[in-house]
Each structure stands twice: as structure tokens, then as C-alpha cells.
């Protein structure tokens, strides 16, 4: 089986996603990670569109890559000018990449109503641009933009655009579902027709057709991954996508799903087993760099991808994991997780204790007793299936195995409000670590922020690596509003470092006390990992 080539466009198409922006340094870091993962092509950006991408291509020349070919992206020449005089093509060449990707118009609607030229001129734009770049010694990947919409509108013209690119020397013809509105059976039918018509055009059978096709899908119908796999099943030898599916509107085809489907489900040797095991870490790294909270439900690499909550399910996977799992989590660098809640049974607690390294049976405590205690707490409003960090500490306390890394002596929070200024919060905290006391103060945007900053500052005197730890989510929920401002509240905090995200929880009628419970659990969890 011929390996499918992986083409990553996170740094260009992915960066077009809402609230996503990469610095040049970010792009270099992601490039190194993608190369280490075994990606074959990395699209670095569009050098003709902005100074940042020009700077990236200048910097990336300094590095040697073991797997990836760095690719510059751009469009065909503009209407009415020669390729030699087109600034976009010149910028692509100045990037000095050995491979380039250019997109051209396939849909007659775009040709006549968007770029306002003739169908004949558009064919010349495609042909001239590919020939020019090939003459300059570049590998040319031709992206047929809006191909499937164009084919459905005017199949004869869409086919002519592919023939123009192919006969001008394009190394790959990538069929794009740019609007993301095509569904898998359409992908399959159209790709079959394209292969048959092109084979007929060149007077040969489809099995002798040597044209290399690729597939580029968007996720507007939540079918980008399915459409990509359909494309591969119909002969695509290159798949384009982004890590975590980042991209404009609803995103691009997600390589963190496509890669394991190709490798594990289809058996295509697109990546090595060793590199496949790096997939979850790469997903997390890109999310961190993009300042995006990782999606827990993301298939294969998400925190919940192999999570089990129901007691019957947990009892089964303790005996035979495949009973409720479609693959081994470690293959993609993930791990099995068992959640504990009021739906849990003794099996959940026993599995969770083993996972967390907590011995049951010590001091007379067993799994059944802990289940009952947790169910009582959940009846009061706690929710431990979304707070693994607090659950670990709670189970250690239940079994008399908890050894706090630090102890609170006291804290004080002052909030000052002036007439024309927002509230200003200041926190002073006294903690002890191994009998040594530390007193610090810090300001914050609010009382919890000030307390977080003060605790972080105090602990930093003993544990200097806390800089990598950051809070990524903070939620407060009133448990029963009938008590008004005296109601019990639940505080949920999500924290992350370079390796994982963990969640902690606190509950009290005092929002500061509830916040402190969640906050201190978060720091205790992080420091215990050391």
C-alpha cells in the first residue's frame, strides 16, 4: 500500500480560525513539532500576503528538517499580467522553498463573478502559473479551490481546470471542498467520474492514470474527516488538514483524527508507530501555542476520548478493554480514564485508585466505603467526574494518605473601590512548607485573582517551576438560588501545564472559601506530580 502523504496547513489555513494568531516564533516551534511527528509537507504561510509570513520563511531556512518539506502558499497569477510580473508568484519564489502550493479557480461562479474574468483567461492563469513555477525548479501542488462546488455547477469546465494544471506540470492535483458543503457519497462519485473522464481524455484506462490526486476538506457540515477518508478511498494520495481541525468558520479536516484512522483503521503506513504515539502531545502543544482550551471530546487525542463513567462499563473494561474501547489509547499517546460520580460503582473507585497510585484497604478503608462518601458529597452539589484533581486529593484524605505539600496559615483580602475606578484587590498570604513560613502579598483583577497571584508568589520561593502552570477556566455556579446571596456556590477551576489539564472543585456558602478550596487543590495536585 502506497503511503498517503500528510500535508499540514495549521500555520496558514489553521491560523485563519477565529481567535487564533501565531507569532513567527510560534510558527517555528509548531513546524519543529510537526516535523518530529513525521508530517511530509508543512505549509508555512502565504508570503505574498503579510510581513509575518515573509519573516517566517526567512527564519525557517536556518533549520534542517528530517521529515517535512516546507511549502509556500499563494494564488495563480492575476488576470491580465504575466507570471514574471506577478508579485504573488515572486514572493513565493523568494521564500526559496523547494515545494510550493498555488490555488486556482475551478468554479465558474468565482471566475466570472468574484475575480471578474473570462473562463478562458482563468485557464491561462492556471497554466501559466504552474509552468512558470516548474520552470523555476519547484515541486508544484495545485489546489483546485471550490472544486466540488465547481464540478456540480459546470463539470466540463471544472475538469478543464484540472487538465490545464496537469498538462502544465503540476505534481499534485488537490481537490478542495472549500465551502465544506459536500457529503461523502458526493466526494466518492465525483472523484470516480474525474478519474474516468481524465483517463478518457488521455486515451487510457483508469488503472494506468498516473495523476496524483489530493483532498482538502472543510468542516462546515461536520464531515471534513469523513470526506477526507472518502477521498483516500477513491485514490487521493495526499491529505491536507490542520492539527485539532483549526481553521476558518467551522475549521478544516482534523489531522489528529485523520492520521490514526489512516494508520490504525485502514492500515496505511502514513506515519510510524513511534510517531503516532506523539499525536496527543502535538495536539496539546498546538492548542497551548494557539491559546485554545483543548476540546475534551476530540476523538483519539481528547481528554474524554477514552473516559468511562458508568459502573457497568468500568467493570467490563477492567476485564477486557475492547468491550467499550475501539482501540488502545496509548497508540495515539492517550490514556484510559475512569470517572467517579454518583453513577459510579465499586469498580470505578478501584480502577481510579489504581490509576492514581492510591492503595485501598489501608486503615480499614475500601472502595465501597469511598463510593458512599462520594455519592453523599455529590448529593450536596460536588461533581467529581469533572474534577480529577480534587478527586485524587479527596481519595487520599479518605484513606489517610494525603500529605499536603504546603499548609495555609492565613490569608487576608482587601478590596478597594473608588468612584471612577474598578475594584482593586490585594491579598496577603502566609503559608508553610516543611515547617518554613513564607508571607507574601499580591494584587489582582479581583479577590480570587489576587489570592492566586499571592499563593503563586509564595510557593515560587520553594518551587521555581510554577511559571508553566496557568489557570485556563474559572466557573461559579449557584447551587440553589432560593437562598439569595447566602446560597451555596460551586467553583470549578481548570489548570494546565505543558503536559496536561486538571480540574479542581470547591463548594461553600462563601465564594472566596469555595474558590480557595479549588485553587489550593489545583496547586497541591501540580506540586504532588513533582
How many alpha carbons lie under 13 Å from residue 478 in its C-beta half-sphere?
8
Phi-psi region of 77 (alpha: psi -120 to 50; beta: other; left: phi over 0): beta
CB 191 within 8 A of CB 213: yes
Which residues have CB under 8 Å from 271's CB, separation 6+?
A: 6, 37, 38, 259, 262, 263
pLDDT of residue 353: 73
pLDDT of residue 243: 98
- CATH (residue range 5-289): 3.20.20.70
pLDDT(105) > 80: yes
Which residues have CB under 8 Å from 330's CB, separation 6+?
A: 277
Predicted confidence (pLDDT) per residue in 113-125, tens digit? 999 999 999 999 9
pLDDT(341) > 70: no
pLDDT of residue 473: 83
Q: What are the residues facing 415 on neighbouring strands?
A: 425
Of all residues in the chain, the percent with pLDDT exceeding 90 is 64
Q: Torsion angle of alpha carbons 363, 367, 368, 370, nearest 10°?
A: 80
Domain ranges (residues) in the chain? 5-289, 307-398, 412-462
Instruction: Give 486: exposed, middle or buried? Use CB within 10 Å, 0-12, 13-18, 19+.
Output: exposed
Give the model's confidence band at 407: pLDDT under 50 very low, under 70 low, under 90 confident, else very high: very high
> What is the C-alpha separation between 99 and 73, in angstroms, rounded?
9
Predicted confidence (pLDDT) per residue in 151-196, tens digit? 999 999 999 999 999 999 999 999 999 999 999 999 999 999 999 9
Give the model's confidence band at 397: pLDDT under 50 very low, under 70 low, under 90 confident, else very high: confident
pLDDT, average across residues 448-467: 89
- Residue that has been written with the C-alpha cell 439569595 in this structure: 484
pLDDT(343) > 60: no
pLDDT, average across residues 343-354: 67
Give the model's confidence band at 497: pLDDT under 50 very low, under 70 low, under 90 confident, else very high: confident
Q: What is the DSSP letter of 228?
A: H
Phi-psi region of 27 (alpha: psi -120 to 50; beta: other; left: phi over 0): alpha
Mean pLDDT of the chain: 90
Predicted confidence (pLDDT) per residue in 291-326, tens digit? 888 898 999 999 889 988 777 787 787 788 888 889
pLDDT(347) > 80: no
How many alpha carbons lie under 13 Å from residue 329 in its C-beta half-sphere?
20
pLDDT(342) > 60: no
pLDDT of residue 61: 93
Give the model's confidence band at 466: pLDDT under 50 very low, under 70 low, under 90 confident, else very high: confident
Predicted confidence (pLDDT) per residue in 1-25, tens digit? 899 999 999 999 999 999 899 999 9
Predicted confidence (pLDDT) per residue in 80-98, tens digit? 999 999 999 999 999 999 9
Rg for the chain (alpha carbons), in Å? 28
pLDDT of residue 396: 80
CB 223 within 8 A of CB 237: no
> What is the C-alpha separation between 376 and 370, in angstroms, rounded?
10
Instruction: Please give the helix or strand (H or E) that residue 130 lies within, else none.
Output: helix 119-135
- CATH (residue range 412-462): 3.30.160
pLDDT(289) > 80: yes
pLDDT(364) > 60: no
pLDDT(481) > 70: no
> What is the C-alpha separation between 430 and 514, in angstroms, rounded?
19
CB 194 within 8 A of CB 161: no
Give the model's confidence band at 334: pLDDT under 50 very low, under 70 low, under 90 confident, else very high: very high
> What is the C-alpha separation between 261 and 252, in angstroms, rounded?
16
> What is the C-alpha separation between 519 and 448, in angstroms, rounded?
9
Amino acid at each position: 500500500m502506497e503511503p498517503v502523504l500528510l500535508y499540514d496547513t495549521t500555520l496558514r489555513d489553521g491560523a485563519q480560525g477565529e481567535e487564533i494568531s501565531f507569532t513567527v516564533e510560534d510558527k517555528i516551534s509548531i513546524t519543529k513539532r510537526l516535523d518530529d511527528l513525521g508530517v511530509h509537507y508543512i505549509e508555512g504561510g502565504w508570503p505574498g500576503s503579510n510581513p509575518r509570513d515573509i519573516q517566517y520563511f526567512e527564519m525557517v531556512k536556518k533549520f534542517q528538517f528530517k521529515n517535512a518539506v516546507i511549502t509556500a502558499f499563494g494564488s495563480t497569477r492575476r488576470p491580465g499580467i504575466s507570471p514574471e510580473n506577478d508579485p504573488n508568484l515572486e514572493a513565493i519564489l523568494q521564500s526559496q522553498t523547494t515545494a510550493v502550493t498555488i490555488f486556482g479557480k475551478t468554479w465558474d461562479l468565482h471566475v466570472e463573478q468574484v475575480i471578474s474574468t473570462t473562463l478562458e483567461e482563468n485557464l491561462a492563469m492556471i497554466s501559466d502559473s504552474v509552468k512558470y513555477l516548474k520552470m523555476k525548479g519547484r515541486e508544484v501542488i495545485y489546489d483546485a479551490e471550490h472544486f466540488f462546488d465547481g464540478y456540480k455547477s459546470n463539470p466540463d469546465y471544472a475538469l478543464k481546470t484540472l487538465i490545464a494544471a496537469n498538462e502544465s506540470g503540476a505534481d499534485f492535483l488537490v481537490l478542495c471542498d472549500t465551502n465544506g458543503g459536500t457529503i461523502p457519497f458526493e466526494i466518492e462519485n465525483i472523484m470516480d467520474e474525474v478519474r474516468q473522464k481524465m483517463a478518457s481524455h488521455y486515451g487510457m484506462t483508469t488503472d494506468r492514470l498516473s495523476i496524483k490526486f489530493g483532498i482538502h476538506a472543510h468542516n462546515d457540515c461536520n464531515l471534513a474527516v469523513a470526506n477526507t477518508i472518502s477521498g483516500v478511498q477513491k485514490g487521493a494520495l495526499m491529505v491536507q488538514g490542520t492539527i485539532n481541525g483549526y481553521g476558518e468558520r467551522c475549521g478544516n479536516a482534523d489531522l489528529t483524527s485523520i492520521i490514526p484512522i489512516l494508520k490504525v483503521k485502514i492500515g496505511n503506513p502514513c506515519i510510524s508507530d513511534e510517531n503516532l504515539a506523539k499525536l496527543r502531545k502535538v495536539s496539546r502543544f498546538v492548542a497551548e501555542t494557539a491559546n485554545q482550551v483543548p476540546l475534551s471530546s476530540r476523538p483519539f487525542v481528547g481528554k474524554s476520548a477514552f473516559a468511562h463513567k458508568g459502573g457497568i462499563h468500568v467493570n467490563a473494561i477492567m476485564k477486557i478493554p475492547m468491550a467499550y474501547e475501539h482501540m488502545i489509547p496509548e497508540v495515539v499517546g492517550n490514556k484510559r480514564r475512569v470517572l467517579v460520580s454518583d453513577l459510579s460503582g465499586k469498580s470505578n473507585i478501584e480502577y481510579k485508585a489504581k490509576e492514581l497510585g492510591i492503595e485501598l484497604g489501608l486503615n480499614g478503608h475500601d472502595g465501597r466505603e469511598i463510593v458512599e462518601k462520594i455519592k453523599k458529597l455529590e448529593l450536596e452539589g460536588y461533581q467529581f467526574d469533572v474534577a480529577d484533581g480534587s478527586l485524587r486529593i479527596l481519595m487520599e484524605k479518605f484513606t489517610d494518605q494525603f500529605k499536603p505539600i504546603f499548609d495555609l496559615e492565613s490569608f487576608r483580602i482587601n478590596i478597594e473601590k473608588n468612584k471612577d475606578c474598578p475594584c482593586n484587590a490585594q491579598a496577603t498570604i502566609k503559608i508553610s512548607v516543611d515547617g518554613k513560613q513564607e508571607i507574601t502579598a499580591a494584587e489582582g483583577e479581583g479577590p480570587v485573582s489576587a489570592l492566586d497571584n499571592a499563593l503563586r508568589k509564595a510557593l515560587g520561593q520553594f518551587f521555581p517551576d510554577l511559571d508553566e502552570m496557568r489557570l485556563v477556566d474559572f466557573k461559579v455556579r449557584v447551587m440553589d438560588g432560593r437562598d439569595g446571596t447566602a446560597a451555596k456556590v460551586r467553583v470549578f477551576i481548570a489548570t494546565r501545564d505543558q503536559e496536561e489539564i486538571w480540574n479542581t472543585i470547591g463548594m461553600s456558602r462563601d465564594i472566596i472559601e469555595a474558590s480557595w478550596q479549588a485553587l489550593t487543590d489545583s496547586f497541591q495536585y501540580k506540586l504532588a506530580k513533582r
